[in-house]
Amino acid sequence: MIISELRIVGSTQTNVVMHAELVRVAQRALKKRPPEPRKEGLGQLVYPFDPDLAWAATTYMRTPTRVVWDVYRSTAQRLEPLYDELVADVAADARAFGRDRDGISVEARRVEEFAAGERQVVGVVKNALIDGMDKRGLRWHVEPERPAHRWVARLDEAGEVVVSIDLGGGSLSQRGWRRDAGEAPLREHLAATLVMLTRFDPRKDALVDPMCGSGTIPIEAVLSARGMPRRSATLRALGLGPAGDAAPLFGDSRPLVVGCDHDIGVLGHAKSNAAEAGVTGDVTWQRADIAQLAPETIAEIAAERGRPAPTSGVLLSNPPYGERMQEAELGPLYYEIGRAAARFRGWRAAFIVASPLFERVVSDVLGQARIKKPLANANLRAYFFMWDL
């Protein structure tokens, strides 16, 4: 069956944040509000396909891991009927997907329940696309390394095969700026999700990560404040969106962003990542122990940058957790985090952390968190906490 839906995929529990980001992006880039999505599971949003919305989501969103265009769906349970149905759909499809002589790649995801192996599913979908296009007079071939467009076949929750075009050309979490990982870096899309959850307003808030490691949160905060575009070869090959390079959505945004860590080595990683991301000079990196961090430190940094001391802002971090440190060390560190946050009156303090000890210790200092939300961090069951200070 020929279908046409825009699917935005992210971490579990991020549907609300992803939709909020798409609203912000679409209002700025397209001057229109996207329709309400259908939610599939805890981390997938589905919209009626709209080429402008697809372009804007792929170019500007930072919270999803993938943006795909679902184009065919089949209830076939075996390879032969799947091939027959797909060839017929592709041949009868009036939509233009790329050009003659395009190279494509096909990937299968979550097809374990299908009555054939992953490689067989890939082979059949690939053959059906090439043979179906051939009937339309377009000669496509397989090009695994540098395809003009990447296709994905997966089983949905109802067990149907959905064939999609991966509009971002792979995982959107990898932005291309990470040169040095540090010890336990946050994934980039998760850092962007945290920034959205804090409702960081770059026009009036400062953002400080007091334990910044390789700098993921400060770098993503600047990039999302500025609405930096991503280039997608697939969008270009499909002719989606305006010709030429997309401009930043908020190119003149100059938020006050600071990354601190007590480890001078990881700050070196953060600086080289920031250079790669094109935000050198937008983040101040400061060696500091959280026990000493105070609003005066940030006021001095603001003054050096010719700014008034911020009266509101966000402390946002992913503190060390149990796997690397013992509880005996973590308790005192979490207590210092609570005490440091308490010094920032009028700010918000937010953390993603997988240790249950964190909530107990920090709540003793700051009271109950205003927001406590489950949010996976890699394979860890973590929580996002936010306190009004």
Ligand X SMILES: C[S@@+](CC[C@H](N)C(=O)[O-])C[C@H]1O[C@@H](n2cnc3c(N)ncnc32)[C@H](O)[C@@H]1O
Residue 25: partners with Cβ closer than 8 Å, 6 or more residues away:
56, 57, 60, 61, 227, 249
Q: How far is CA 86 from the centre of its chain?
A: 31
Round to whole Å and give the CA distance between 27 and 298: 33
Contact by Cβ (8 Å): 318, 358: no
Q: How far is the CB of 227 from ligand X (least distance, A)?
A: 21
Q: How far is the CB of 205 from ligand X (least distance, A)?
A: 19
Residue whose C-beta lies closest to ligand X:
213
By beta-carbon proximity to ligand X, the closer residue of 125 and 375 is 375
Among 21, 85, 102, 261, binds ligand X (CB under 6 A): 261
Q: How far is the CB of 187 from ligand X (least distance, A)?
A: 8
Among 207, 211, 298, 369, binds ligand X (CB under 6 A): 211
Q: Report if residue 290 touches ligand X, rule: CB under 6 A.
A: yes
By beta-carbon proximity to ligand X, the closer residue of 76 and 333 is 333
Q: How far is the CB of 373 from ligand X (least distance, A)?
A: 18
Among 124, 153, 163, 186, binds ligand X (CB under 6 A): 186
Q: Bin 103: left if φ > 0, else alpha if -120 < ψ < 50, else beta.
A: beta
Closest by CA position to 316, among listed 267, 366, 257? 257
Among 34, 98, 213, 310, binds ligand X (CB under 6 A): 213
The one-letter code for the residue type at 294 is: A
Q: Which residue has the tokens 């679902």?
A: 70
Among 105, 164, 318, 355, binds ligand X (CB under 6 A): 318
Contact stretch for ligand X (CB under 6 A) within 49-57, 91-99, 162-170, 318-326: 318-326
The one-letter code for the residue type at 45 is: L
Q: Report if residue 320 touches ligand X, rule: CB under 6 A.
A: yes
Q: In what order do the strands lie in the sheet with 38-39?
A: 38-39, 44-48, 2-9, 66-74, 161-166, 149-155, 103-109, 141-142
Closest by CA position to 364, among listed 385, 335, 323? 335
Per-position x/- string for 7-46, each x denoting binding to ligand X as judged by CB under 6 A, each - no binding: ----------------------------------------
Binding site for ligand X (CB under 6 A): 182-186, 211-214, 216-217, 261-263, 266, 289-290, 318-320, 333
